[in-house]
Amino acid sequence: MNQSEDFSFILEAKKRYPQLCHASNIIKKNSGVLNAKQESALSLLIAAYAGYLRNVLAITSYGQEAIFKK
């Protein structure tokens, strides 16, 4: 995935799950003024968080195994 797709995924997840406070922070930081080092760090963070969200949101059951996976 590229950063644009990852960021779009985070935006959509935030719309579906407004309680995602980390998504709010990423969205806010992405719309701000950043230096090169901050942009690089945010790019890594977006990819990692989008991957995390994809994995967690793919688990839809509530059994003990699902809770362990989350």
- Whether the CB-CB separation of 13 and 57 falls below 8 Å is answered with yes
Q: Is the pLDDT of residue 70 over 80?
A: no
Share of the chain above pLDDT 90, in %: 74
Q: What span, in angstroms and rounded, lies between the C-alpha atoms of 25 and 66?
A: 27
**Class of residue 43 by CB neighbours under 10 A (exposed 0-12, middle 13-18, buried 19+):** middle
Global pTM value: 0.84
Q: What span, in angstroms and rounded, lies between the C-alpha atoms of 25 and 59?
A: 24
pLDDT at 43: 96
- CA atoms within 13 Å, Cβ hemisphere of 2: 1
pLDDT at 18: 95
For 32-65, write each residue's pLDDT tens digit: 899 999 999 999 999 999 999 999 999 888 888 8
Length of the chain: 70
pLDDT at 10: 97
